[in-house]
Chains A and B, each alone.
Chain A
Amino acid sequence: AQSVTQPDIHITVSEGASLELRCNYSYGATPYLFWYVQSPGQGLQLLLKYFSGDTLVQGIKGFEAEFKRSQSSFNLRKPSVHWSDAAEYFCAVGPNDYKLSFGAGTTVTVRA
């Protein structure tokens, strides 16, 4: 069985501050891991994905994520957030296709 836990339902961060979103997964084999962002009225957009190799993955919009097998984690980070980063963020895990299991999401609020 595959599952994802995002422990933080809501995070508030000041513009220009760093951001870290937590993701823990459960998967029986080598996981394929993803981070998606969903803005109001918009579809899910892929930020980055991890399959193998370098455990630090770079994505779009200045985001990066680090895969830690020992901790079953795939946390998302951004050094300096912009007001436009306010959105809902989803971590997902899946096999070698897009039948993904998503976490419940973390809502990010950016304050001026």
Chain B
Amino acid sequence: DTGVSQDPRHKITKRGQNVTFRCDPISEHNRLYWYRQTLGQGPEFLTYFQNEAQLEKSRLLSDRFSAERPKGSFSTLEIQRTEQGDSAMYLCASTVPGRQQNTEAFFGQGTRLTVV
């Protein structure tokens, strides 16, 4: 297993376009998290899934943001009508459920989005 995989690693898009990012978690990790990291800041939690169920989405930044995990394996994060303020690194992490002291969340290398 090579860890959490994110695709693409870099994306440049024009303002107003839609973009979709993919995250493949470590196999058998049924919890998956999305974070956003802007320049000079730490990651900011967006949403997470347990299997295919999205357990929290209130922290998604606007209704332009949506995430899915249809089969409980990979996940996608979509941003519609991108704005320059969406430029950031989008990180994915996965873990197994359980007591936090016994688990670790593994992060992918992220997708860097640039909106021009």
Contact = CB atoms under 8 A, between A and B. Distances in A.
Interface string A30-55: 00100010000111111001011000
B42 A42 contact: no
B45 interface: yes
15 contacts: A4-B42, A43-B91, A43-B108, A43-B109, A44-B43, A44-B107, A49-B101, A51-B101, A52-B101, A90-B42, A90-B43, A98-B48, A98-B93, A100-B43, A103-B42
A contact residues, range? 20 to 34
B71 interface: no
Given A43-B110, A51-B100, 4 more contacts: A98-B105, A100-B45, A100-B105, A104-B42
A39 B108 CA distance: 12
Interface string B6-47: 000000000000000000000000010100000011111100
A58 interface: no
Interface string B79-116: 00000000000010101000111001111111000000
B35 to A, nearest CB: 8
Find the residue from A41, A43, A96, A105 having the highest chain B CB count within 10 A: A43
B47 to A, nearest CB: 9
Contact of A32 (B48, B100, B107, B110): B100
B44 A98 contact: no
A105 B42 CA distance: 6
B67 interface: no
A55 to B, nearest CB: 15
Contacts of B44: 102
Interface in A72-112: 90, 92, 94, 96-105
Among all A-B residue pairs, the 7 with the closest Cβ atoms:
A102-B42, A43-B107, A44-B107, A98-B105, A51-B101, A43-B109, A102-B43
Interface in A9-47: 32, 36, 41-46
Contacts of B56: 99
